[in-house]
Amino acid sequence: MLVHSRKGKWATWVLFFALFLPLFALPLLVIVAASFATSWSSALPTGFTGGHYQAATSGASLQALTTSLVTAVSASLLALLIGTWAALAAAALKKSGRRVLDALFMLPVAVPSVVVGLAVLVAFSKPPMVLNGTRWIVILAHTILVTAFAYQSVSAAIVRLDPAYEQAAASLGARPSYVLWKVKLPLLLPSLNAAAGLCFALSMGELSATMMLYPPDWMPLPVQIYAITDRGSLFTGSALSVILMTTTLLVLLLVSRIRTKASYR
């Protein structure tokens, strides 16, 4: 549309991939390649081994994976509950009230995750709520961080929802609670799925707040990757990273596969 000559198009595309591939595709490929390599001291990795995966799926590393999965699932579900509730409540308010809720629930995005970690650490290390040293403090911090994203995507979906459905339901004599359960939530389900996937992915990769909080017996995957690479085991770290990416992708794929009746329209 913009470039018409065949030559110009090819030149543009070559330039595009000359930038795109090394910057975005190469890093991911390199990690995958490294996870199978025995050593890498020249242009290309040398030696093929599955040994890093063996190391990455046993002992502490395997535990880190399950830790991350449990944390991400719990944090996503909690965030979805709170975020959806808040978004629905905000949508019912007038403009000024909605603004306040928007600002409140989007605040965790603006605050650096490290600071969220610090704040949670400061608040929950002393009575009456001592969570420090338990897994709950990690799950709590993750929930805070991803709730903002759940709130944002559900809010956007509510705005897109045609008010005609709600009004049609009300005109048929349905109470607001009935409308919520039988019309609004079913129609929002595809967006809730997408929000859940987003929250899961974010929580799986969360490192900043977790570094401030994790107790020795609840070490999520990103922290484990950091610990391993810090010790110099870059290849095992790569294998763990591949596992992290694959798990995230699989869950995202699974979530996008969940077709609800409302998603056919």
Partner 1 sequence: MASATLSAPVNKAANPRKGMPKWVWALPPVAVLALVFLYPLALVVQQSVQPDTGGTSLKPYADVFASSAFREALGTTVWLALGATVGCLVLGFALALVIAFVPFPGGKAVAKFIDVFLSFPSFLITLALLFVYGSVGMANGLWTDVTGAASGPFQFLTTPWGVLLAEITYFTPFVMRPLLAAFSQIETAQLEVASSLGAKPARIIRQVILPEALPALAAGGSLVLVMCLNEFGIVLFTGAKGVTTLPMLVYSKAILESDYPGACVVAVVNVLISVGLYGLYRVVSRRAGA
Partner 2 sequence: MASGIRFDKVSVAYGANTVLHSLDLTVEPGEVMALLGPSGSGKTTALRAVAGFVRPASGRVLIGDRDVTDLPPHRRGIGMVVQQYALFPHLRVEDNVAFGLKAQKVAKAEIPARVTEALEMTGMASYAKRYPRELSGGQQQRVAIARALAIRPGVLLLDEPLSALDAQLRSGMLAELARLHRELPDVSILYVTHDQVEALTLADRIAVMDKARLQDCGTPQELYRRPRTEFTASFVGNANLLPVQVGSGSVSFAGAQLKVPTGDVASGVSATLCVRPHLVGLGDGPNALTGSVSEVQWRGSTHRLYVDVDGHRLKADLRELRTPPALGDEVTVHFAPEDAVLLSAGVSKDG
**Residue count (the chain):** 265
Partner interacting with residue 28 (select from partner 2, partner 1, none; CB below 5-8 Å by kind): partner 1
Contact 211, 226 (CB under 8 A): yes
Partner interacting with residue 77 (select from partner 2, partner 1, none; CB below 5-8 Å by kind): none
Contact 195, 154 (CB under 8 A): yes
User: Hunting for tokens 């990795």 — which residue is that?
Assistant: 45
Answer for which of 9, 99, 175, 231 binds partner 2 (CB under 8 A) is 175
Applying the rule CB under 8 A, the residues between 116 and 135 that interact with partner 1 are 116, 118-124
**Would you say 123 or 261 has its CB closer to partner 1?**
123
DSSP-assigned states of every residue in 132-168:
TTSHHHHHHHHHHHHHHHHHHHHHHHHHHS-HHHHHH
Residue type, 162: D
Whole-angstrom Cα distance, residue 27 to residue 110?
A: 27
Helices (runs of H) and strands (runs of E) counted in the chain: 13, 2
Answer for which of 47, 60, 85, 263 binds partner 1 (CB under 8 A) is 85
CB of 100 to partner 2, least distance (A): 21
User: Of 15-23, 50-58, 69-77, 162-170, which segment contacts partner 1 by CB under 8 A?
Assistant: 15-23
Whole-angstrom Cα distance, residue 206 to residue 223?
A: 9
Applying the rule CB under 8 A, the residues between 195 and 234 that interact with partner 2 are none
Return the structure tokens found at 213.
Answer: 């909080």
Q: How far is CA 226 from the centre of its chain?
A: 19
Q: Does 31 bind partner 1 (CB under 8 A)?
A: yes
Return the structure tokens found at 121.
Answer: 């650490």
**Would you say 107 or 261 has its CB closer to partner 1?**
107
**Would you say 80 or 169 has its CB closer to partner 2?**
169
**Would you say 113 or 261 has its CB closer to partner 1?**
113
Partner interacting with residue 18 (select from partner 2, partner 1, none; CB below 5-8 Å by kind): none
Q: How many residues sit in the footprint of partner 1 (CB under 8 A)?
A: 87
User: Hunting for tokens 């939530």 — which residue is that?
Assistant: 185
Whole-angstrom Cα distance, residue 87 to residue 155?
A: 5
Q: Does 18 bind partner 1 (CB under 8 A)?
A: no
In 108-249, the DSSP E strands lie at none
Interface mask toward partner 2 for 182-201; x: CB under 8 A: xx--xx--------------
Whole-angstrom Cα distance, residue 118 to residue 206?
A: 14
Applying the rule CB under 8 A, the residues between 71 and 130 that interact with partner 2 are none
DSSP-assigned states of every residue in 88-121:
HHHHHS-HHHHHHHHHHHHHHHHS-HHHHHHHHH
Applying the rule CB under 8 A, the residues between 214 and 253 that interact with partner 1 are 222, 225-226, 229-230, 234, 237-238, 241, 244-245, 248-249, 252
**Would you say 110 or 172 has its CB closer to partner 2?**
172
Residues in the site for partner 2, rule: CB under 8 A?
A: 162, 164-165, 167-176, 178, 182-183, 186-187, 260-262, 264-265
